[in-house]
């Protein structure tokens, strides 16, 4: 069973701090990695994608991928209360096309003023 694991949280951080969200995956051949943000009562929205080892930065967000250790993380700098949401990690496993995306259960982030 190919899995994507996330700590359910809640992860509580003060406003202005760095929030670090982690995700591990079981399929070593996984190819593509995504972070979705889901506000309560809303649908998931894609915020970051990463395909190769290393860091990818977009504004306050940085995705980090380490294929050897099979983890992907999301850093949120200068966290704001508006960042409070559930963050879903998603992975396309080896040989998987568009119909093979596997999601984690999500980590709930709470940013307090």
Partner 1 sequence: ETGVTQTPRHLVMGMTNKKSLKCEQHLGHNAMYWYKQSAKKPLELMFVYSLEERVENNSVPSRFSPECPNSSHLFLHLHTLQPEDSALYLCASYRTSGENKRSGANVLTFGAGSRLTVL
Contact by Cβ (8 Å): 71, 50: no
104: contact with partner 1 by CB under 8 A: yes
Residues 41-80 vs partner 1: string with x where CB under 8 A?
-xxxxx--x-x-----------------------------
CB closer to partner 1 out of 44 and 79:
44
Question: Which among 10-18, 64-72, 77-85, 99-107 is the span making contact with partner 1, rule CB under 8 A?
Answer: 99-107
Bridge partners (DSSP) listed for residue 27: none
- Name the phi and psi angles at 77, rounded to 5: -85, 155
The strand ranges marked E within the chain are 4-6, 11-14, 19-25, 32-38, 45-50, 54-58, 61-66, 71-76, 85-92, 102-103, 107-112
* DSSP label of 81: G
CB closer to partner 1 out of 31 and 70:
31
Binding site residues, partner 1, CB under 8 A: 4, 8, 31-32, 34, 42-46, 49, 51, 88, 90, 92, 97-99, 101-106
């Amino acid at each position: 069973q190919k899995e994507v694991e996330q700590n359910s949280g809640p992860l509580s951080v003060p406003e202005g701090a760095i929030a670090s969200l982690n995700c591990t995956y079981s399929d070593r051949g996984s190819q593509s990695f995504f972070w979705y943000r889901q506000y309560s009562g809303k649908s998931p929205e894609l915020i970051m994608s990463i395909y190769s080892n290393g860091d990818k930065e977009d504004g306050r967000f940085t995705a980090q991928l380490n294929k050897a250790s099979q983890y992907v993380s999301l850093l949120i700098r200068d966290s704001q209360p508006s960042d409070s949401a559930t963050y879903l990690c998603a992975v396309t496993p080896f040989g998987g096309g568009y119909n093979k995306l596997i999601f984690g259960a999500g980590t709930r982030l709470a940013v307090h003023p």
